[in-house]
Amino acid sequence: MKIAVSSEGQELNSKVANRLGLAPYLIIVDLETMEHKAAENPGHAGTGGMQAVVLAIKENVQVVLTGYCSPVAEAYLKKNGIRIVRGAKGTVKNAVNEYAKKHKALNSLSGHFPITSKTREKVAEAMIRTARQFGKMLPILIGVIFLMGLLKAFVSKKMLLSVFFGNVIWDTVKGACLGSILPGNPINSYIIGGEMLENDVSLFAVTAFVMTWVSVGLVQLPAEMAALGRRFSLIRNAVSLVVSIGAAIVTVFIFNLIR
C-alpha cells in the first residue's frame, strides 16, 4: 500500500504539513517496505491547492495523511479511490507508523481477507453510530433500573390486587386507563407490566396497560392538540382507548387458546 503524507520537508523526520494544498512536499511511502520518496507539490506557494490532489492521484496512492484537507479536495480524492485521513501531526515517520498500526489492527480482524478503504470507512461509521445509539439508550437503561427498584420498594402485591381484583372487563378498563395517563418511554411499560404479572395482576389488565401506554397519551394531549388540532386529538385518543381495550381482550383470548 502506498500512502502520501503532506510534509514540510523531504525526509521522514520532517514535520507533517498542516494543509494538504499548501504542503511543500508529499512524502510517498510504501507501507510494506517503508521505502519513500519526496514529491514536490507545485501548488505549495499558493498557486493552486488542487495540485497536491493531482499529485497524489498521479502517484497512485491509496491513502493521504494530512492535518487538514478541504471538502473539495477530499471529494476529488474519494472519487479516485483515495482515502483521506485528517489530523495527522508530528513527524511524517510518526504519522505513518501510527496509521500502520491501525491498518494492521483492522486487517487482523478480517483474517486472510484484505480490508478495503471503503470497508474501513463503513466500519468506522458503524462504530460511531453504535456509540451514539448507546449514548441515547443509556439514560433509558438507567431509568429502567431505577424504575424496577422503585416498583419493588413502594408497590406491594396487596396494593395492586386491591385495584385489579380479577374481573376481566373491569381489569382491562382499569389497565387501559392507567396506561393512558402514565407518560414515559415505551420500555417502561414493559417493566411495569412485568411487575404487575409477577404480582398476579391479570394478563387482560397488563395487555391493555401496555397497548394504551404506546397509543394513548393524556399527559401529552395539550401538546398534541396544539400541533394537530383539538378535535382530531380528542377523537384519536378516544378511539385508541376503546380499540386498545377490545384488542387486549381479543389478544388474551387468542393467546389462551393457542398456548
Cell of 203: 394478563
Place of cell 386529538: 233
Q: What is the pTM of this model?
A: 0.44
* 40 phi and psi angles, rounded to 5 deg: -70, 135
| pLDDT given at position 107 | 59
* 28 phi and psi angles, rounded to 5 deg: -95, 120
CA distance 99 to 106: 11
Number of neighbouring beta carbons within 10 Å of residue 155: 14
3-state secondary structure of 30: strand
| pLDDT given at position 246 | 93
36: which strand partners?
A: 29
How large is the C-alpha radius of gyration of the chain? Answer: 31
CA distance 201 to 248: 14
Is the CB of residue 18 less than 8 Å from the CB of residue 8?
no
| pLDDT given at position 113 | 45
Is the CB of residue 2 less than 8 Å from the CB of residue 60?
yes
Instruction: Quote the Cα angle for 78-81-86, to 5°.
Output: 50
Is the CB of residue 46 less than 8 Å from the CB of residue 22?
yes
What is the mean pLDDT of each successive set of 10 residues along the chain, which is 259 residues long? Answer: 91 91 91 88 73 89 90 88 90 90 64 55 78 70 55 66 84 89 75 83 91 84 85 92 93 89
CA distance 35 to 52: 20
| pLDDT given at position 205 | 92
Spell out the alpha helix ranges (H) of the chain.
51-58, 71-79, 92-109, 117-154, 157-163, 168-181, 186-198, 203-215, 221-228, 230-258
Report strand pairing: 63-65 vs 83-85: parallel
CA distance 173 to 212: 10
Q: Look at the chain and count its residues.
A: 259
HEC assignment per residue over 75-106:
HHHHHCCCEEECCCCCEHHHHHHHHHHHHHHH
Number of neighbouring beta carbons within 10 Å of residue 244: 25
* 38 phi and psi angles, rounded to 5 deg: -105, 125
| pLDDT given at position 144 | 52
Residues 137/139/140/142 CA torsion (nearest 10 deg)? 120
3-state secondary structure of 34: coil
